């Protein structure tokens, strides 16, 4: 097996980790156009014969979903959610999603400008959560703060901005994999123990809460979810679960699931290749991950190769 | 009163609640009382055992005992009370 890395930037550390990645190619940003990105991928595919492709950035998923058939014709398999699944779980569509599938979600509304923000906020009690389309979320205690976060997030990630009711409680997450036929191939619940200033998990622990798994199975069964997902949930003080987001990809903390006994990336490869995959039935509870960062040392010639020739 | 089934406690008094992912530390006497509760002893039985073992008046002990139970409840470590 060979692992081919695809990099958007020359300073992505994985490029220089030759013990993990056999070869890396620069690819253009999805914002340059799906066609350009796919053309480059097909070019790489002809050199490397790629069997399975795993997109993982929120901003690139749509481009790869749309190109599924083109890629498959060239033998490049993906195992991503269907476009409809991807669209209906969007933050902006979450209230409708909750209603359709009988899942508790916070009240929410997308807004496109400050006037809409002001009007919409009249129906909410502070604090409210102000969220970006793909990334970022802030808690605003009054209109001035909400407007400030609106501007901050929209400048970075574009529109719309989503207003969401603030649910007091503990944030918990589930990593899961659906086979596209309604079956859950694996699922591991986790609570973040340490978060970065961006709210990303830097440490976490696997939980034993059957209700989280029931909710996950329900969502996968009723949406017939295809591929990896991360559920972001708030467990309220009364012990109720509210779905705040579905990320349509495997999260960065996937290795915790592997450490707890569910090798979800391996299962995902099998699903993508059409190999029969038995669902995982258990995992170890109380397993922790603690992330660390590392200074990778490399030579300028390595950087040069990637920068000048687009491959390393 | 019943402790949640999935709670794990080690001999050192390290207690882990896998439902919420929280961990706590019990001192020696806390661990002893915790184990008595786990063995489904009544408050009376626990009080008798501890006051016979240690130099503490029954009234004093019961005050501390109900404080302790209140804390278990607050941290949602008791069955059916989550």
Residue A177 is encoded by which pair of tokens? 């994999």
Question: Does residue A101 contact residue A221 with C-beta atoms inside 8 Å?
Answer: no
pLDDT at A194: 92
pLDDT at A230: 96
CA distance A160 to A153: 10
Closest CA relative to residue A247, chosen from A262, A222, A225: A225
Strand partners, B16: B8, B23
Residue A63 is encoded by which pair of tokens? 């481009």
**Whether residue A30 has pLDDT greater than 70:** yes
Q: Which long-range contacts (CB under 8 A, 24 or more apart) does A109-112 make?
A: A109/A162, A109/A163, A110/A160, A110/A161, A110/A162, A110/A163, A111/A150, A111/A160, A111/A161, A111/A162, A111/A163, A112/A159, A112/A160, A112/A161
pLDDT digits (tens, 9 = 90+) for A126-156: 999 999 887 788 999 999 999 999 999 998 8
Of A193, A208, A239, the CB nearest to B6: A208
| B19/chain A closest Cα distance in angstroms | 5
pLDDT at B32: 95
Fill in the DSSP letter of residue A159: S
Q: Give the rounded distance of the alpha carbon of A124 from its chain centre.
A: 28
Contacts of A109 (CB under 8 A, 6+ apart): A95, A120, A123, A162, A163
pLDDT digits (tens, 9 = 90+) for A245-304: 999 999 999 999 999 999 999 999 999 999 999 999 999 999 999 999 999 999 999 998
**What value of ipTM does the predicted structure carry?**
0.73
Residue of A nearest to B20 (CA): A207
pLDDT confidence band for B82 (50 / 70 / 90): very low
Question: Does residue A262 contact residue A250 with C-beta atoms inside 8 Å?
Answer: no
Query: Which of B19, B81, B82 would you mutate first to test chain A, the one with the most A CBs within 10 A?
Result: B19
Question: Does residue B47 contact residue B39 with C-beta atoms inside 8 Å?
Answer: no
Residue B45: C-alpha distances to residues A200, B27, B36, B40 (Å) = 48, 20, 9, 10
Residue B63 is encoded by which pair of tokens? 């005050």
Mean of pLDDT values over A115-134: 90
- The number of beta carbons lying within 10 Å of the beta carbon of residue B46 is 20
CA distance A43 to A56: 20
CA distance A44 to B14: 53
pLDDT digits (tens, 9 = 90+) for B14-64: 999 999 999 999 999 999 999 999 999 999 999 999 999 999 999 999 999
Q: What angle do the packed helices A114-121 and A143-157 form, to 10 degrees?
A: 140
pLDDT at B59: 94
Question: Does residue A162 contact residue A109 with C-beta atoms inside 8 Å?
Answer: yes
Least confident of A91-95, A149-153, A206-210, A293-297: A91-95
A239 contacts on B by Cβ (under 8 Å): 76, 82
Contacts of B27 (CB under 8 A, 6+ apart): B13
CA distance B36 to A10: 61
Mean pLDDT of chain A: 92
For chain B, helix, strand, coil in percent to 5 are 50, 15, 40
Residue B64 is encoded by which pair of tokens? 């501390």
**Whether residue A238 has pLDDT greater than 70:** yes
CA distance A214 to A220: 10
pLDDT at A31: 87
CA distance A132 to A91: 9
**Whether residue A308 has pLDDT greater than 90:** no
Question: Does residue A173 contact residue A245 with C-beta atoms inside 8 Å?
Answer: no
- Write out the DSSP string of A60-75: HHHHHHHTHHHHHHTT
If interface means Cβ-Cβ distance under 8 Å, which residues of chain B face chain A?
6, 8, 16, 18-21, 76, 82
Looking at A16-86, which runs of residues are DSSP E strands? 23-26
Degrees, nearest 5: CA angle A272-A276-A281: 105
Residue B35: C-alpha distances to residues A208, B39, B46, B66 (Å) = 21, 6, 10, 15
Q: Do B8 and A286 count as a contact with CB atoms less than 8 A apart?
A: yes
Q: Do B6 and A205 count as a contact with CB atoms less than 8 A apart?
A: no
B20 contacts on A by Cβ (under 8 Å): 170, 191, 207, 209, 235
pLDDT at B80: 66
pLDDT digits (tens, 9 = 90+) for A48-63: 999 999 998 888 899 9
CA distance B74 to B68: 10
pLDDT digits (tens, 9 = 90+) for A143-198: 999 999 999 999 888 888 999 989 989 999 999 999 999 999 999 999 999 998 87
Tokens 């019961």 belong to: B62
């Amino acid at each position: 097996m060979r692992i081919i890395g695809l990099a958007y930037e020359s300073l992505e550390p994985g490029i220089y980790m030759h013990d993990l990645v056999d070869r890396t190619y620069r690819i253009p940003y999805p914002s340059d156009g799906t066609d350009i990105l796919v053309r480059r991928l097909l070019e790489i595919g002809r050199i490397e014969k790629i069997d399975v492709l795993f997109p993982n950035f929120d901003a690139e998923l749509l481009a790869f979903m749309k190109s599924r058939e083109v890629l498959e014709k060239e033998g490049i398999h993906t195992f991503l959610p269907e476009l409809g699944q991807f669209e209906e779980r969007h933050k902006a569509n979450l209230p409708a999603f909750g209603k359709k599938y009988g899942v508790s979600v916070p009240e929410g509304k997308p807004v496109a400008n400050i006037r809409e923000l002001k009007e919409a906020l009249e129906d909410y009690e502070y604090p409210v959560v102000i969220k970006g389309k793909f990334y970022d979320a802030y808690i605003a205690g009054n209109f001035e703060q909400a407007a400030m976060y609106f501007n901050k997030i929209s400048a970075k990630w574009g529109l719309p901005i989503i207003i969401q009711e603030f649910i007091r409680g503990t944030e918990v997450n589930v990593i899961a994999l659906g086979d596209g036929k309604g079956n859950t191939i694996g699922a591991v619940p986790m609570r973040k123990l340490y978060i970065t200033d961006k709210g990303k998990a830097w440490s976490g622990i696997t939980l034993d809460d059957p209700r989280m798994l029931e909710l996950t199975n329900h969502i996968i069964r009723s949406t017939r979810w295809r591929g990896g997902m991360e559920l972001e949930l708030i467990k309220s003080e009364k012990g109720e679960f509210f779905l705040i987001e579905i990320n349509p990809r495997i999260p960065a903390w996937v290795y915790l699931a592997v450490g707890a006994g569910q090798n979800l990336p391996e299962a995902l490869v099998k699903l993508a290749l059409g190999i029969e995959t038995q669902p995982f039935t258990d995992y170890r509870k109380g397993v922790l991950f603690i992330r660390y960062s590392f200074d990778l040392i490399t030579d300028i010639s390595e950087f040069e190769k990637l920068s000048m020739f687009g491959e390393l | 009163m019943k402790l949640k089934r999935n709670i794990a406690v080690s001999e050192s008094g390290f207690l882990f609640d896998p439902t919420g992912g929280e961990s706590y530390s019990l001192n020696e006497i806390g661990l002893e009382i915790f184990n008595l509760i786990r063995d489904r002893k009544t408050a009376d039985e626990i009080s008798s055992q501890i006051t016979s073992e240690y130099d503490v008046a029954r009234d004093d002990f019961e005050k501390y005992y109900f404080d302790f139970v209140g804390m278990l409840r607050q941290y949602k470590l008791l069955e059916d009370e989550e």
